[in-house]
Amino acid sequence: MLIGIDLGTTNSLAACFRNGKPELIPNRLGGYMTPSVVSVDEEGTVLIGETAREYGLVNPLRMARFFKRDMGTEKEFTLGDRKLRPEELSGLILRSLKEDAEQYLGEPCNEAIISVPAYFNDFQRKATKKAGELAGLQVLRIINEPTAAAIAYGVGSSDKDERCLVFDLGGGTFDVSILEFYKSIMEVHTIAGDNFLGGEDFTALLADRFLEKNAIAPESLDIRTRNRVLKAAEACKCSYSHTDSPVMSCIIDGEPVESRMPLSEFEKACEPLLERVRKPIERSLRDAGLKLDEIDRIVLVGGATRLPTVRRFVSKLFHIIPNLAVDPDTAVAMGAAIQCGMKLRDKEIREMVLTDVCPFTLGTEVTMDNGLFEEDGHYLPIIDRNTVIPVSRTQTVYTARDGQTRVNVKILQGESRNAKNNLLLGELSVPVLPGPKGSQAVEITYTYDINSLLECQVKVLSTGVVRTVIVQDGTGRLTEEEAKARFEELAYLKQNPRDDEENRLLLLRGERLYEEVIGGDREVINRALMDFERLLSQQDRTQIERGRKTLAKILDQIEMNL
């Protein structure tokens, strides 16, 4: 079975296409959203999703989250005695989604289409594909999140030609894409974004404002308390959808602390973040050669677009009421599922051709005359950003020095005029005949396809010598043997059993609340947890089910009063 996966910074979810329509796949707890959180407990058991988040609130040094922002980097996360890379952590999330899908659908799910932010570079896309492989999935395609969302919103579902701007503000990344639909073709014109801007930044801003109002220095808080403040800030942020003046409260050093957080005050503090949002929008319009009034439809994607502040900003900027027909949290997964249907040529799906663009400029390093002398380190673009893919482009370069015997081609990705500031994807070297500078011509051809596969071919015109390299793994860290060994290790990590998930989650929630409250509430929680643990030891499923409902009711009541 082919499944579509939205691998998110904050939450991830899976969907499939069957019975002629996209369908969200519930996780083992019955919800659709699986928090992108991984924890490892003292016994070495890996916890995923909501259970991992609850465990991590009490044991923050054993929890990893927001690792999507570090995909394609050398960063490692330490969880107890384990060190895991971002793609390995993502692989564990994907494996959990795969298992949930197989349980729900009743058949193996070994193939997937996975979405990524449109502004992900080559390293990040390859790391995402590696994560899928580590989860036991064959990744048939990497699809841009805004493109998937546009499909879910029905862009192109009628015969009407239209230009659509997809505004995708998720938990940790921001993308803006301009797409045009005409004659059964959905063409991506431009993409832009910020991989370090998302809903979590608005939450952090609110948390910092709360601490400032209460004269609490952030550096005085331990990591547990800081996480509690962020959790309270998230709840406060979400409450702006139904009130303009919520009260944010949190237990700090055993004492309740609270402040009223007016929406007007929050919006004023958000202005620097909204300015960061504005810049990619302006860039995408400029690259597309369009004006604001030439956009026919605005599509909002990502949980952060639920914020009234963000929606007002978009409406004011474009003078258009954004399309809210699809749940912004699930749009990408639903679009990925429809893409699965397209891949399988399902008869219920209208035939549509999807085109995409190269997110970053691809080029090489050259020597140039600056008017005074020959200067190394200049960037020569070969494929400009936002070029429709698949694409193949050629540039001819010449030897830069007398007697030069080799030409070294650096394969670079980025927008800086200085070669050293761009990403080095790979290198290739070819021999040339010695002679005066400029006497030997070399053709450099880049070919880039829809799966972010880049081929670099270098040809020496005088000798006919050709060298070719395919940039398959932008991370360049794991050989095939190392990857296989790592896959086997991750595949057999001890994970929390599915049947125990609800009980484990409830116990962790109780332990976390016990730490957050004081006085009589602590006694109530302690007694309730002891009663439930006694029922678990008796292994009577009927009694456990009743006890779980009783404990959940008690915890709900206490949490409502926090």
* Gap between the Cα atoms of 191 and 166, Å rounded: 9
Residues 6 or more apart from 190 whose CB is under 8 A from it? Answer: 177, 178, 283, 284, 285, 287, 288, 357, 386
216-233 b/e (C-beta count within 10 Å ≥ 16 → b): beeeebeebbbbbbbbbb
Q: Is 287 a catalytic residue?
A: no
> Distances in Å between the alpha carbon of 306 and those of 239, 313, 379?
10, 12, 41
Q: Is 219 a catalytic residue?
A: no
Q: Is 6 a catalytic residue?
A: yes
Contacts 24+ apart (CB under 8 A), 344-352: 344/2, 344/17, 346/17, 346/20, 347/20, 348/20, 348/21, 349/17, 350/156, 350/157, 350/184, 351/184, 352/156, 352/184, 352/185, 352/186
Nearest alpha-carbon partner for 285 in 192, 174, 146? 192
* Gap between the Cα atoms of 398 and 561, Å rounded: 73
- Check 41, 50, 54, 68 and give the catalytic one: 68
Q: What share of the chain is helix, strand, coil (3-state, %, to 5)?
A: 40, 30, 30
Q: Is 145 a catalytic residue?
A: yes
- Check 50, 168, 329, 356 and give the catalytic one: 168
> Distances in Å between the alpha carbon of 543 and those of 53, 532, 548?
27, 9, 9
7-28 b/e (C-beta count within 10 Å ≥ 16 → b): bbbbbbbbbbbbeeebebbbbb
- Check 87, 122, 145, 180 and give the catalytic one: 145
| Distance, CA of 34 to chain centre | 13
Two tokens, residue 102: 């197989």
Q: Which amino acid is at 391?
A: V
Would you name the residues annotated as active-site residues? 6, 68, 145, 168
